[in-house]
Chains A and B, each alone.
Chain A
Amino acid sequence: MAILVNEDSRIVVQGITGGEGSFHTKQCIDYGTKIVAGVTPGKGGQEVQGVPVYNTVREARDKQNANVSLIFVPPAFAADAIMEAADAGIEVIICITEGIPTIDMIHVKNYLKDKNSRLVGPNCPGVITPGVAKVGIMPGFIHKKGSIGVISRSGTLTYEAVSQLSSRGLGQSTCIGIGGDPIIGSPFIDLLKLFQEDPDTEGIVMIGEIGGSAEEEAAAFIKENVTKPVVSFIAGQTAPKGKRMGHAGAIIAGGKGTAKEKMEALAAAGIHVAKSPADIGETMVRALGK
C-alpha cells in the first residue's frame, strides 16, 4: 500500500532536459521507478535516458497516462509548472525546486484549491516508497521496505533518520520530504492523516524544525486523530532568533517558532520526542515496544 506513490505511479519529469532533471531521472529509473515521460517546452520529440519528452504536461498525460509529476524546473518558472501539472489532472505533484518566491506559492495554493491534485514541496527531497518507487533526489540504498512512515521538513536530516531506522531493522512504508519553505503544498497534518489510514504503516517519524507553527498544529491533530506511535525530532534547538537557518522557512520570527515551544507541544500531545538527532531510531524502537 504505502502512501502517495506505489506500483501504479507513472511519473512525468518536468524539466527533464536540464542537468538535474536528467541526472535524477536516471537515478529514479535505476531504482525501478516508472518514469514514463518528460516535459520541457520546445523540446518535445527528444528523448532523455530513453524517456520520451513532450512540450506540455497535458500531452505527457494523454500519451503516457502519467499520474505523478516530479518537478526540477528553475524557481522563476516552477509555480507555472506546478499549475500546469494540476490543470493536466496529475494526482500527485512533487516539486524539488528550491528558491520559489513566497507570493508565487500563495498563488499556486489558491490555484490548487479546486483541483484534485496533491502538492508535495517545494524545496524538498521528494517521496520514496522503498522497494517500489523513488520519486525524488534521496539516496535509494539507505531505505528499507517496512512499516514506518517518515515525514520531514528537511533533506539530509531525513536521510539520517532513515538510516537510523534501517540499521535497527525498521524499514519504511513511505518517506516524504515536505519542504523547507514557509508556504508548502502538504503540511504535516495532511500526511499524518494518510499514514494513520494506511494499513502498512505501524509508526510515524515526524521531523520538524524551527519556524512557523506546523508542528504545534500537527501535535493537536495527532492527539485527536492518530493512534499509531509518533516519534518526533525538532532541529534548531540552538538556533538564534531572527536568523534564517538555510531553509527559507526556518526562522524564529518575533520570538515565535522556537524548538522549545514545538517540543513542549509535541510532548504534551503524547508524542515521543527525541532530544538528540542521534536518538530518532532508538526512540522509535522504544515507542513500538519491540
Chain B
Amino acid sequence: MKIHEYQAKAILRSFGVPTPEGEVAETPDQAKAIAEKLGGGVVVVKAQIHAGGRGKGGGVKLAKNPEEAFELAGKIIGMNLVTHQTGPEGKKVNKVLVEQGLDIANELYAGIVIDRGSGKPVVMASSEGGMEIEEVAANSPEKILKEYVDVEHGLQPFQARNLAFGLGLSPAVAKKAVPFFMKLYRAFEAKDASLMEINPLIVTGDGNVLALDAKMNFDDNAMFRHPDLPELRDITEENPYEVEASKYDLNFIKLDGNVGCMVNGAGLAMATMDIIKLAGEAPANFLDVGGAANAERVEHAFRLILSDPAVKAVLINIFGGIVRCDMVATGIVEAAKKVGVKVPIVIRLQGTNAKEGSEILKQSGLNFSVASELEEAAEKVAAVVK
C-alpha cells in the first residue's frame, strides 16, 4: 500500500524524525491560512499524488507570501499532473501540502528497503539527493552507501555513524544525522514498511537535518496488525478497475491490450498473458480468480473484464486442482447468462474433471470456443481478435 507525502511525514514525526512544518490543504483558502500560520513568509506548495517526479511536472512551487500560496494552490489543486511515473494520462491533484521554506545547504538521499537476496532490511544513503536512486545505482553505484540490518537487533548507532560520516558530513551535522537514521529505521520497522525514501534529506544552513520529502510503502500482508494504516489509503490514486477488483478479493491489474484474461493462480495468469503475446495479441489485464473459483467470483471477474471497452475477446484458462473444472464451467455458464457477454470467449479447462466441464460448456447453448491445450487456446483467441 502506498500513502501520500503528508501522511508519511506525519508518521515520521510521530517517531521523532524532523520534517519541515506544514499542513495539507484541499482549497486555496486553506493553503493561504496555513501559509499565514507558518509566519507569512516563503512556503512551498506541493501537489499530493502518489507518483514521483512532481517537481519536474510543475506540481511543486515556491510561494513568497500567503497570497501567492493562495494563487498557486488554486492552480495546482484540480490540475492534471503528468510525471514520468503517472504515465501520459497524468493524475488529478486533490490536495497540496503547504510547508515552510527552508535554507537548504545540502541535499542528500536516504532510503530503506528489504533486500531479498540477503533477507535483511538495508538502509541506504547517498550524497546525490534529489536524483532518482535507480539512476545513481546505474551510473555511480559507489555513491550509494549501504548498511544491512540484523532485525533481531535493529539498526545500530555505529551503522548510522558509518552512513553519516560516509556522506562526508561534519561532526556537528553527523551528530544530528545519526539519530535521524536511527528514528527512520524505527519507523520503518514499527510500521511494517516495505519501502521508505527520503529524497531529498536536507541539511539546512544552520546545520539541521530534515526529511524534505517522504515516501512510504507498506507490506500488505502486515495490515492485520496495523488497523490505523488502511485509513490512509486514497482510492482516487488507484486504477478504478483495480479498486473494484479489490472489493471482491480478486487480484487484478489493468493492462493495455484487448484480450481479457481470467485465470486461476498468479503464475499461470502471468504465463497466460505471455502466451497471448506470443500468439501476436496483447493481454488487457492480469486476473487471478484464486483457488476458490466459484460462480460468484467468476461473475464478478466477468463483469470487471467486460466493463473495459478495450476488451475484444476473453480467454479463460483454468487448471483444475482442488477446484473442479465442472464446477467452474457451471459458474462460467451462470455468470455469462447473467452478465450478457457480447465478445467471443475462448475457454481452456485442464485438470480435475476437465472433460465434464467442457461438456457443460458445449451444451450451454452459449457461444463458447473450447480448447484443451494452452497454445490452442491462445491461437484461437488471437484469431477472433484479428
| A interface with B by C-beta (< 8 Å) | 23-24, 27, 75-76, 99-107, 109-110, 137-139, 141-142, 152-160, 163, 180, 182-183, 207, 209-214, 217, 233, 235-240, 243, 245-250, 254-255, 259, 275-278
Residues 232-289 of B contacting A (Cβ, < 8 Å)? 251, 253, 255, 263-278, 282-283, 286, 288
| B interface with A by C-beta (< 8 Å) | 114, 116-117, 119-121, 133-134, 137, 150-152, 189, 192, 194, 219-222, 224-225, 251, 253, 255, 263-278, 282-283, 286, 288, 291, 319-322, 350-352, 373-375, 378
Can you list 25 A-B pairs, Cβ within 8 angstroms, ordered by A? Answer: A24-B322, A76-B225, A100-B221, A102-B221, A103-B151, A103-B219, A103-B222, A107-B151, A110-B151, A137-B321, A139-B321, A141-B352, A152-B267, A155-B291, A156-B321, A157-B271, A163-B350, A212-B116, A236-B274, A238-B255, A238-B282, A246-B288, A249-B116, A276-B274, A278-B373
The residue from A105, A163, A213, A235 contacting B271, defined by CB atoms under 8 A apart: A235
- In the bound complex, what is the Cα–Cα distance between A110 and B151 (angstroms)? 9
**B residues near A102, Cβ cutoff 8 Å:** 114, 192, 194, 219, 221-222
Q: Are B322 and A27 neighbours in the complex by a CB distance under 8 Å? A: yes
Q: Are A180 and B266 neighbours in the complex by a CB distance under 8 Å? A: yes
Q: Are A156 and B264 neighbours in the complex by a CB distance under 8 Å? A: yes
Q: Are B266 and A154 neighbours in the complex by a CB distance under 8 Å? A: yes
**B residues near A212, Cβ cutoff 8 Å:** 116-117
Which interface residue of A27, A110, A214, A249 has the most chain B CB atoms within 10 A? Answer: A110
Name which residue of chain A comes closest to B137, CB basis: A254
Q: Are A139 and B351 neighbours in the complex by a CB distance under 8 Å? A: yes
Given A107-B152, A142-B351, are A160 and B319 neighbors across the interface (CB < 8 Å)?
yes
Q: Are A154 and B114 neighbours in the complex by a CB distance under 8 Å? A: no
Min C-beta distance of B137 to chain A, whole Å:
7
Name which residue of chain B comes closest to A236, CB basis: B270
**B residues near A159, Cβ cutoff 8 Å:** 268, 319, 321, 351
The residue from B137, B192, B283 contacting A238, defined by CB atoms under 8 A apart: B283
Q: Are B221 and A106 neighbours in the complex by a CB distance under 8 Å? A: no
Min C-beta distance of A102 to chain B, whole Å:
5
The residue from A180, A209, A236, A278 contacting B374, defined by CB atoms under 8 A apart: A278
Min C-beta distance of A214 to chain B, whole Å:
8
Q: Are B119 and A183 neighbours in the complex by a CB distance under 8 Å? A: yes
Given A102-B219, A103-B151, A275-B278, are A156 and B268 neighbors across the interface (CB < 8 Å)?
yes
- In the bound complex, what is the Cα–Cα distance between A104 and B189 (angstroms)? 11
Pairs A-B, 6 closest by C-beta atoms: A154-B267, A246-B266, A156-B265, A157-B267, A277-B271, A101-B222
Q: Are A255 and B267 neighbours in the complex by a CB distance under 8 Å? A: no
Given A101-B192, A163-B351, are A238 and B117 neighbors across the interface (CB < 8 Å)?
no
The residue from A106, A214, A246 contacting B151, defined by CB atoms under 8 A apart: A106
Min C-beta distance of B39 to chain A, whole Å:
39
- In the bound complex, what is the Cα–Cα distance between A137 and B322 (angstroms)? 7
**B residues near A157, Cβ cutoff 8 Å:** 265, 267-268, 270-271
Which interface residue of A155, A158, A209, A248 has the most chain B CB atoms within 10 A? Answer: A155
Min C-beta distance of B194 to chain A, whole Å:
7
**B residues near A213, Cβ cutoff 8 Å:** 116-117
- In the bound complex, what is the Cα–Cα distance between A275 and B279 (angstroms)? 12
**B residues near A237, Cβ cutoff 8 Å:** 273-274, 277
Q: Are A153 and B267 neighbours in the complex by a CB distance under 8 Å? A: yes
Given A180-B266, A183-B119, A275-B278, are A160 and B134 neighbors across the interface (CB < 8 Å)?
no
Q: Are B222 and A160 neighbours in the complex by a CB distance under 8 Å? A: no
Q: Are A255 and B270 neighbours in the complex by a CB distance under 8 Å? A: no
The residue from B192, B221, B274 contacting A75, defined by CB atoms under 8 A apart: B221
Given A156-B268, A277-B274, A278-B373, are A255 and B134 neighbors across the interface (CB < 8 Å)?
yes
Given A154-B266, A236-B274, are A160 and B152 neighbors across the interface (CB < 8 Å)?
no
- In the bound complex, what is the Cα–Cα distance between A201 and B214 (angstroms)? 51
- In the bound complex, what is the Cα–Cα distance between A156 and B271 (angstroms)? 10
Name which residue of chain A comes closest to B376, CB basis: A278
16 further A-B contacts with Cβ under 8 Å, apart from A156-B267, A237-B274, A277-B271, are: A76-B224, A101-B222, A103-B219, A106-B121, A106-B151, A109-B119, A142-B351, A155-B321, A156-B265, A160-B319, A209-B267, A211-B116, A236-B274, A245-B266, A248-B220, A276-B275
- In the bound complex, what is the Cα–Cα distance between A165 and B222 (angstroms)? 38
Which interface residue of A102, A110, A210, A246 has the most chain B CB atoms within 10 A? Answer: A246
**B residues near A103, Cβ cutoff 8 Å:** 114, 151, 189, 192, 219, 222
The residue from A137, A235, A254, A276 contacting B267, defined by CB atoms under 8 A apart: A235
- In the bound complex, what is the Cα–Cα distance between A259 and B271 (angstroms)? 11
